[in-house]
């Protein structure tokens, strides 16, 4: 089953057309990478899914149903959780309050506050600290923990490796592969070749507002992938 699909989506901020016919799809339990250089429109794909742009043409399907009038909560209501670029931690709420916000959709599933704290013990130790007091790596754990609290069928991560030390990126790769193995769909928006290679099965390259290249990652070397991203 398709969880999320863009079909020839054209999207604008004001008069600025950023997406120029974007087509891609993520099926249940698939691990897919959306890659591309800075400024090609990757985050605009996420913003468009959340209703943050004007869609002039094309359609977006959630669970195979065409969805008009997207809002900030449309994705959440359809079992999609998003780890925003820059993490989107609420700095003046505590770690635990940030996590509880993620559970606001009250979807049932394996992830609870206790399970998240077991996965990331530091979030338990620091449960009463404000979000701003966390390190970058801890904020990324909190952002992922908050997303998992929604018990999503599809987890979207927008450049999660940004600003993380390599050893923490290794942990992130292992976690994403495990989540995928457990049946969660993953849409990994990234420029980190090593992370993409370890996590994703398929890729789409975004360039100049549309998908320039796509395919399986099994037979693509790191150099080839780097070449695609440089388009």
Ligand X SMILES: Nc1ncnc2c1ncn2[C@@H]1O[C@H](COP(=O)(O)OP(=O)(O)O)[C@@H](O)[C@H]1O
Find the residue with minimal CB distance to Mg ion: 43
Residues that bind ligand X (CB under 6 A): 13, 16, 18, 36, 38-44
Judged by CB under 5 A, the residue of 6, 11, 30, 43 near Mg ion is: 43
- Cβ proximity to ligand X, 54 vs 65, nearer residue: 54
H or E segment to which residue 221 belongs = none
Tally Cβ neighbours within 10 Å of residue 63. Answer: 16
Residue 50, C-beta contacts closer than 8 angstroms, at least 6 positions apart: 70, 71, 72, 74, 75, 82
Which lies closer to Mg ion via its Cβ, residue 95 or residue 147? 147
Name the minimum Å distance from CB 105 to ligand X.
Answer: 25
Residues from 141 through 170 that contact Mg ion (CB under 5 A) = none
For Mg ion, give the closer residue by CB, 31 or 42.
Answer: 42
Scan residues 57-116 and list those touching Mg ion (CB under 5 A).
85
CA-based nearest residue to 89, from 143, 125, 128: 143
Do the bridges between strand 2-13 and strand 16-27 make them parallel or antiparallel, or are there none, so unpaired? antiparallel
- Given ligand X, Mg ion, none, residue 117, with its beta carbon under 5 to 8 Å by kind, binds none
19 binds, among ligand X, Mg ion, none (CB under 5 to 8 A by kind): none
Closest approach of Mg ion to the CB of residue 21, in Å? 19
Q: How many residues does this entry show for the chain? A: 231
Instruction: Assess 191 for contact with Mg ion (CB under 5 A).
Output: no
Residues 6 or more apart from 28 whose CB is under 8 A from it? 1, 2, 3, 153, 183, 185
CB of 118 to ligand X, least distance (A): 33
Cβ-contact 4, 30 below 8 angstroms: no
| Binding site partner of 94, from Mg ion, ligand X, none, Cβ cut-off 5-8 A by kind | none
Q: Shortest gap between Cβ of 182 and ligand X (angstroms)?
A: 28
Select the binding partner of residue 18 from Mg ion, ligand X, none (C-beta < 5 to 8 A, by kind).
ligand X
Please give the distance of CA 104 from its chain centroid, rounded to a whole number: 18
CA dist 55 and 49 (Å) reads 10
Contact positions vs Mg ion (CB under 5 A) = 42-43, 85
């Amino acid at each position: 089953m398709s969880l999320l699909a863009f079909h020839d989506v054209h999207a604008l901020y004001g008069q600025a057309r950023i997406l120029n016919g974007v087509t891609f799809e993520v099926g249940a339990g698939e691990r897919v990478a959306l890659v591309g250089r800075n400024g090609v429109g990757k985050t605009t794909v996420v913003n468009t899914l959340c209703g943050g742009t004007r869609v002039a043409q094309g359609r977006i399907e959630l669970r195979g149903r065409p969805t008009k009038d997207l809002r900030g909560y449309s994705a959440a209501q359809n079992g999609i959780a998003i780890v925003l670029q820059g993490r989107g931690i609420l700095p003046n709420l505590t770690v635990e309050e940030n996590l509880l916000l993620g559970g606001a959709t009250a979807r049932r599933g394996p992830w609870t506050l206790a399970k998240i704290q077991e996965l990331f013990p530091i979030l338990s130790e620091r449960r009463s600290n404000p979000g701003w007091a966390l390190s970058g790596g801890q904020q990324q754990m909190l952002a992922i923990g908050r997303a998992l609290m929604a018990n999503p069928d599809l987890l979207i991560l927008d450049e999660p490796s940004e600003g993380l030390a390599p050893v923490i990126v290794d942990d992130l790769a292992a976690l994403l592969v495990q989540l995928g193995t457990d049946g969660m769909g993953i849409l990994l928006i990234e420029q980190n070749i090593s992370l993409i290679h370890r996590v994703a099965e398929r890729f789409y390259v975004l360039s100049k507002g549309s998908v320039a290249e796509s395919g399986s990652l099994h037979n693509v070397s790191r150099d080839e992938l780097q070449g695609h991203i440089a388009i």
